[in-house]
Chain A
Amino acid sequence: EADIYQTPRYLVIGTGKKITLECSQTMGHDKMYWYQQDPGMELHLIHYSYGVNSTEKGDLSSESTVSRIRTEHFPLTLESARPSHTSQYLCASSGNRGGTYNEQFFGPGTRLTVL
């Protein structure tokens, strides 16, 4: 089992609220990722980080922001939530282990509903 955690698991909030989705991993992985996925649809990469103080936008434009102050922690923030942000947000991490293949391990996800 991967040691990557996300909180909250479920969040229902009103429009205009600021929210932060937490993601932590205890595997010492240098790379971390945020994906967005709607039910039955594909994964979309929205942010990634290759190490502390390194963050990049992903392939899908997102109004969210991220920070990477500590290796183990990669929070995602929405300054003003809107109904269009309703989705599942999945955090993942990966790290080189014995010269392997950059496989990513996922947290359980946060299911966000904005009313």
Chain B
Amino acid sequence: RKEVEQDPGPFNVPEGATVAFNCTYSNSASQSFFWYRQDCRKEPKLLMSVYSSGNEDGRFTAQLNRASQYISLLIRDSKLSDSATYLCVASNAGNNRKLIWGLGTSLAVNP
């Protein structure tokens, strides 16, 4: 079982839809969590750091549930430009300086 698991998708949604990605992590000692976005053949870019209380940035909302070891990303009013792979990331439990990467969830927003 992978330490960080995501539904690989692909998610195909129409413009304007709301889409939610889920992610689970196996080690309860992980302390830092992130969502990254990666476009095809490009580098990952930080989308959001996930705070324990949950946080929102425009159309994007991230939530953390430590009891269930679960992280989510909600995208509202999706745009064509949101099409990408979304990577869920947790810090290495024994040493928070390394990150454990999920395989990513592919999103295609269609006109």
Contacts and interface: CB of A to CB of B under 8 A. Distances in A.
A107 B43 CA distance: 7
A50 B96 CA distance: 12
Given A42-B104, A101-B32, A90 B97 contact: no
B97 A102 contact: yes
B43 A102 contact: no
A106 interface: yes
A106 B34 contact: no
Interface in A73-115: 88, 90, 94, 100-109, 111
Contacts of B31: 101
Given A45-B98, A101-B49, A102-B91, A39 B43 contact: no
A19 interface: no
A39 B104 contact: no
Interface string B66-78: 0000000000000
A106 B45 contact: yes
A42 B104 CA distance: 8
A54 to B, nearest CB: 11
Interface residues of A, number: 21
B54 interface: no
A105 B98 contact: no
Central interface residue in A42, A88, A94, by most chain B CB within 10 Å: A42
Contact of B101 (A42, A48, A88): A42
Given A39-B41, A108-B43, A109-B43, A102 B32 contact: yes
A105 B49 contact: no
A105 B46 contact: yes
Contact of B34 (A39, A103, A108): A103
Central interface residue in B31, B33, B34, B44, by most chain A CB within 10 Å: B44
Interface in B5-44: 31-34, 41-44
Interface of A: 31, 39, 42-43, 45, 48, 50, 88, 90, 94, 100-109, 111
10 contacts: A42-B101, A43-B101, A45-B98, A48-B98, A101-B33, A101-B49, A102-B97, A102-B99, A104-B99, A108-B42
